[in-house]
């Protein structure tokens, strides 16, 4: 009979042989399917990470390293990949600061479209119908979003530096040209085309850069960034309204241009991308490829319908500082409870107050209440939209995919305002009923598409965080 030491030696030999014959000794973690693509690439460098719902969704529980929440084995969870987004730090928040300044002068400038609509209708373009004048302001929004694919290509190839420099030139030059414009076609070229080319480069370059520095706190970072547009949307209308009687329209526009230039200097010095950018061959099909993914299509459709009606109250009932709170608080909650969940709730809230407050309002009191509440809910819709497309995208393709997303959405911005002008020929004396119904119905359609997108991504459970 063999002795106890001999039995122990035999057992150790069997274990050693089984380990040597095993094809891989790498621990397997059940939560690895939910890793961010860049983290997953570090975990399994021999595997090609393809963008898709299984690899791009961010499971917060798997990132915490808690085996009970993530479903992982009792073995130790690997540390955060070296090239994963830092989700904070001086560099990351300096990028947010610069992007805040960039959104101040880009989307913030777009947010004061209502002021110009009113001014042009009573001054330079008073002889033109409302639907014609609204093409100036709708082109501003359209061009800013439509430039997304072009900006995306330059961003993915070269990073944000030259994108922001070009955006600074076109935006400031466009504002200076508006200051000397007299005819309708001049306003179209300067304010509807030239300046928005610049705001498009600034808007997409800033948002995409911020997305590369954050993952778990991305919605909050983008929310802080888009607060810049709310601050700009408050300051620019006040500046324009107060300065025109004092210095005239021309010098008012020049002062706005100089303010934009100063803030864009800060943006150019601080905004940078965390990714390494290399020149790639231009392939037009790269912009079409995301449309093969049903979650991307449904999310884009949801944003299209929401944005179709979202900007109409901005033009006809100016909203003020309430938008700031709406662009900061919901993104923070979105990181905790899910970005799609918060987008659905805030969009649905916008629909409800449009139909329940704006539609029946016949006096100042309900209009003021609606303005405050809508400023909050619409601010959330603006700040969460970039976070949605980032959540369902591979960060290495974020420029192109965001470009496709906002390019499609731009057509909603282009057509929404002229439709509103046709439904409301006389903003001062006409009935708002048709406009209000159109706004509420199309935004509700967006909520439906968001629900379908969430169901396709994570199932139909109400408590799923996505």
Cα 418–Cα 420–Cα 424 angle in degrees, nearest 5:
115
Q: What percent of the chain has pLDDT over 70?
A: 77
Tens digit of pLDDT for each residue in 4-56? 444 444 444 443 444 344 443 333 323 333 334 444 443 343 333 344 333 33
Name all domains of the chain by residue range, CATH numbers in brackets: 86-273 (1.20.1250.20), 285-465 (1.20.1250.20)
Q: Average pLDDT of 191-209? A: 93
pLDDT attached to residue 119: 85
Query: Residue 14: CB partners within 8 Å, gap ≥ 6?
Result: none
Nearest-Å Rg of the Cα atoms of the chain is: 25
Percent of the chain whose predicted confidence (pLDDT) is above 90: 29
More confident residue, 406 or 78: 406
Please give the average per-residue pLDDT across 297-321, as a whole number. 79
* The pLDDT of residue 78 is above 90: no
Spatial contact of 202 and 74, defined as CB atoms under 8 Å apart: no
Top-confidence residue, 56 or 215 = 215
Assess whether pLDDT exceeds 70 at residue 260.
yes
Write down the mean pLDDT value for the chain.
78
pLDDT of residue 166: 96
Choose between 72 and 204: higher pLDDT. 204
Higher pLDDT, 74 or 235: 235
- Do 432 and 163 touch, CB atoms closer than 8 A? no
The whole-model pTM stands at: 0.69
Q: What angle do CA 219, 225, 229 make, to 5 degrees?
A: 125
List the single range of 78-82, 273-277, 366-370 with lowest mean pLDDT. 78-82
In angstroms, the CA 111 to CA 378 distance is 12
Predicted pLDDT at 4: 45
Per-residue pLDDT reduced to its tens digit, 382-438:
778 888 888 888 877 878 888 889 889 989 888 887 888 788 766 666 678 888 899
């Amino acid at each position: 009979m063999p002795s106890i030491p001999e039995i122990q030696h035999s057992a150790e030999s069997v274990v050693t042989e089984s380990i040597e014959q095993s094809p891989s000794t790498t621990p397997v973690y059940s939560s690895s399917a939910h890793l961010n693509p860049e983290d997953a690439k570090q975990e399994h460098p021999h595997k090609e990470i393809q963008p898709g719902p299984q690899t791009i969704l961010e499971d917060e529980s798997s990132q915490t390293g808690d085996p009970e929440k993530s479903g992982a084995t009792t073995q130790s969870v690997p540390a955060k990949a070296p090239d994963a987004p830092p989700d904070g730090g001086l560099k990351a928040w300096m990028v947010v600061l610069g992007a805040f300044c960039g959104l101040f002068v880009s989307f913030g400038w777009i947010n004061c479209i209502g002021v110009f609509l009113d001014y042009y209708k009573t001054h330079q373009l008073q002889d033109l119908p409302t639907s014609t004048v609204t093409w100036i302001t709708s082109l501003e929004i359209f061009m800013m979003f439509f430039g997304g694919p072009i900006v995306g290509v330059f961003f993915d190839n070269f990073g944000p530096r030259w994108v922001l420099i070009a955006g600074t030139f076109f935006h400031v030059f466009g504002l200076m040209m508006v200051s000397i414009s007299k005819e309708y076609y001049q306003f179209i070229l300067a304010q509807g085309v030239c300046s928005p080319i610049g705001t498009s480069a600034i808007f997409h370059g800033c948002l995409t850069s911020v997305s590369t520095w954050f993952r778990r706190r991305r919605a909050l970072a983008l929310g802080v960034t888009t607060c810049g547009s709310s601050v700009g949307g408050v300051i620019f209308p006040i500046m324009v309204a107060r300065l025109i009687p004092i210095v005239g329209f021309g010098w008012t526009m020049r002062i706005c241009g100089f303010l934009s230039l100063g803030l864009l200097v800060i943006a150019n010095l601080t905004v940078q991308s965390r990714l390494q950018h290399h020149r790639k061959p231009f392939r037009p099909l790269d912009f079409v490829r995301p449309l093969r993914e049903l979650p991307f299509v449904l999310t884009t459709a949801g944003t299209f319908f929401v944005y179709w009606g979202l900007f109409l109250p901005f033009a006809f009932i100016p909203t003020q500082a309430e938008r700031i709170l709406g662009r900061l608080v919901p993104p923070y909650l979105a990181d905790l409870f899910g970005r799609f969940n918060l987008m659905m709730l805030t969009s649905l809230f916008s629909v409800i107050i449009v139909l329940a407050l704006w539609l029946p309002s016949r006096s100042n009191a309900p209009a003021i209440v609606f303005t405050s509440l809508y400023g909050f809910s619409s601010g959330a819709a603006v700040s969460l939209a970039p976070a949605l497309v980032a959540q369902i995208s591979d960060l290495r393709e974020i420029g192109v995919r965001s470009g496709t997303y906002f390019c499609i959405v731009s057509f909603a911005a282009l057509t929404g305002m002229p439709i509103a002008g046709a439904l409301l020929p006389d903003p001062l004396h006409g009935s708002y009923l048709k406009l209000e119904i159109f706004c509420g119905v199309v935004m509700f359609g967006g909520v439906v598409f968001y629900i379908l997108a969430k169901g396709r991504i994570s199932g139909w459970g109400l408590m799923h965080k996505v």
